[in-house]
Amino acid sequence: MKQRLQDGRWTFPPPLGYRAGLDATGAKTIIPDEHSAPLIAQAFEEFATGLHTREQVLRKVTQLGLRTKKSKPLSSQTFSQTLRKPVYAGRIVVAEWNIDVAGKFEPLVSQPVFDKVQAILGGRTVAIAPRARSHADFPLRGFVTCGYCTEPLTGSWSKGRNRYYAYYHCQDGCSRVAKDAIEEEFCDFLRQLQPNVGYMRLYREIVRDVWRKRQGDSQKVQSVVSRRIAQLRENKNKLEEAFVYQKSIDKETYNEMRAKLTEELTLAEMELRDAQAEEIEIETVLDYAEMVLTNASNLWKAAPSEQKQRLQQVLFPEGVTYSEGNYRTAVTCLLFSGMETNMVEKEGLVALPGIEPGF
């Protein structure tokens, strides 16, 4: 068994997404399952974008029909374990025997996608929808790094003679800046950005392509759930007939089965409504996104803390560095290009109350 594993032969029961089969030489191997393999691959690819939580991805692939070998929905724990298995990238890893080799079977995902998923699961890559950073009063906490010691700034309140004062500071004490000052300077920094016209056109085309794929997924989910609803309604009618007309079941059994069918039907109808709610007018969303990008400073100032963090992470995926009143960053969102600081601001612009979660 150990020798076969070292040779790249899978000797365990086929994992979810695979089934037993034969390779070109007639040797036993695992091959992608026609139904579950595409859903496993989709789960990896969508989670790798950093745009969705594990729960959101699990919910979607479950709606599309992903089930365990025993035809049950995957639990959250099982799904998390699935996302960590190297077999889906075509590798056999058995730590107890110091085995880490390329498998002689077809992978379901590429190595870069698998690595990106592991980075997100391990906290080495920040998702675009991060958790709130400890304190709503300090949206830049942990996002801005000190320009001297490169440590992330934290935030705290200090008691003065008559009131409390809010400050951002690093642990080493080389930076300490009043909250209002550093956040106003961050708004000034945002005002120096404008959408790159070329990237903006490309962005709209990419989003349209992604939207068309999502619409296809949404239609597929609706089709699967609609068939399940039809089957549940048919089963409910058969149950009524068995109890009322054929009198083949007693009242207790009837009530128990009817309650279970009613619950399943209600849940399925809720899934269908959720899938239908995902159908959006894409041009309206694109116009809104462009408005966000052209008015990032005003929107950041008006947004609640959690959405401030979401917006700043989108615009500056690797964070920003601050020292002596100046911000700098190695990487900005590709949609932005630098802009002269003496640009005339547009006056009279009404800021929206926040950034939509989908952004």
Cβ proximity of 272 and 229 under 8 Å = yes
d(C-alpha 94, C-alpha 97), whole Å: 6
Task: Specify the pLDDT at position 338.
Answer: 43
Closest CA to 322 of 154, 98, 156: 154
Mean pLDDT of the chain: 82
Q: pLDDT band for position 109 (50/70/90)?
A: very high
User: Does residue 160 or residue 151 have the better pLDDT?
Assistant: 151
Average pLDDT over residues 4-27: 90
Tell whether the model's pLDDT for residue 58 goes beyond 80.
yes
pTM over cut 0.75: no
Handedness of CA 350, 352, 358, 359 (dihedral sign): positive
User: Does residue 277 or residue 313 have the better pLDDT?
Assistant: 313
Average pLDDT over residues 15-26: 90
Which of 17-21, 62-66, 287-291, 295-299 is the least confident region? 287-291
Percent pLDDT > 70 in the chain is: 86
Q: 348: which strand partners?
A: none
Cβ proximity of 6 and 101 under 8 Å = yes
CB atoms within 10 A of CB 59: 17
d(C-alpha 265, C-alpha 259), whole Å: 10
Average pLDDT over residues 250-276: 85
Tell whether the model's pLDDT for residue 228 goes beyond 60.
yes
Percent pLDDT > 90 in the chain is: 34
The runs of H, that is alpha helices, within the chain are 2-6, 36-48, 54-63, 76-83, 111-121, 179-191, 197-244, 251-277, 282-294, 296-302, 305-315
